Structure 1
Amino acid sequence: MATDTTRARLLDEAERLFLERGYELVSVRAVNAAAGMNPAAVHYHFGSKEDLVVALLQSRLGPLWADRLATLTRRRAAGWTPGAGELARINRRKDGYGGSLDHRAGVARGIARAVRDEVGDRIAITAKLNMEDGVRGGLGIDESIQVARRLQDDGSVDALQLTAASSLLNPMYLFRGDAPVKEFAAQFPQPQRLGIRLIGKQILRAYPYREAYLLESGSASVPPLTCR
């Protein structure tokens, strides 16, 4: 019982300090001192600082993940594995809109054609197209150019607005600069806020900012295209 109480005090103080100062600025010694423990308490009960963080996440977030993890375990035990048609990391559909590039581009091309059929030449149509998702298995510049050429051949768009990044998997690939982990975490309740503060830099990656940083990819996309 005493051991459980000691662990709980260390976790509570670690959580408070991490939220106040950030993970990098909190030492194991500071956690021990804040909990009123001897300098070896964290090492004795958890191991390293990283082990302390793992225990903290398990304590705070474990109950939220329990049902999902149990479901995944049951599916795997029943023989489930990701389908062979799940070729793109963003699009994992197994119907006519998943798998190959032609299938994955089908939604965008179908919408563009429907709009063109409705408005004819009375209104200019623009489409926003990702040049790169910034994630392994996502859309790259070569595939982006192929999609753009298909839209061009369809005659369904007058211009393309080029962008980048997967807002779901790697949003900072578009925005660049320091990742706003603290501000992003503040939008969530506890314990999600704690988890984002602790592992946010792995989710929101930081890319150095430079002027016109999308120009190189955009220049690669533009020469082969001659939209309406």
Structure 2
Amino acid sequence: EEKEQTSSSLQSRIYLAGLGIFCILVAGTAIYSEFHFSSIYFRSHHKVTHHTQQDVLVKGDRALLRREMEELSRETEQLSQKTEFIQKFDTFSVKDNCPNKRCKPCLQDWIIFKKKCYLFYNEPAPWKTWEQSRRFCQDRRADLVVIDDLEEQEFVNKHINHDKHNGYWMGLQHLNSKWTWVDGRADTLGFWMKQTVTTPAPKALVVPRQNPSESWKKADNVFLNKFICEHNARLSFLHESSTVS
């Protein structure tokens, strides 16, 4: 009986020892598996992170390159516009029109307003006929002023200084039974002085010291008057001037 108890106790111990060893092996396997998979995950995550960082850098380089190419394209276009503008003149004073190597949107002595440049001819008499005035403007790659709206008319009236009996030639003339601007458009504003509406004459003046919406006067081409020239501002020069500190 003692032998049987001893044998049973030994078997229990062996069983428990085996169970303990099994548990240790299972735990070790679990720990190893967790470590192994963690290592694989870390390496994979590192690779993904590395590739993601590389992708971000590549995308950043591409965006920077695209911006630089766009800026170069704008500068090339601006240079082309400047060259085209300058080549229109037989003589072009860089000193007067591009001081400090920055070109102005308007020629010297011209005034800019809403992306257009204006020259108010205020030289002493004798002045010029309508045709002579227009040739003067065209020689400067411009034309007699064309009024687009009341705001522009108000701007013009603020800059003319002549007596109320004379005025400044505009680019408005009577052609084919209608008043037409030199750019080919028919006039739709009709800012005529009330007392001159029925006066027959083929050309138009703007008269100082009048209500802007009632400041036009009809006149014959043979009369000598001051005048206003106009041309579009050079947008590339306008951008350049706006960057001057």
Asked whether the two chains share a fold, i.e. TM above 0.5, the reply is: no
Larger radius of gyration: 2
TM-score, with normalisation over the residues of structure 1?
0.26
TM-score, with normalisation over the residues of structure 2?
0.24
**Higher relative strand content:** 2
Higher RCO (Cα < 8 Å, 6 or more apart): 2
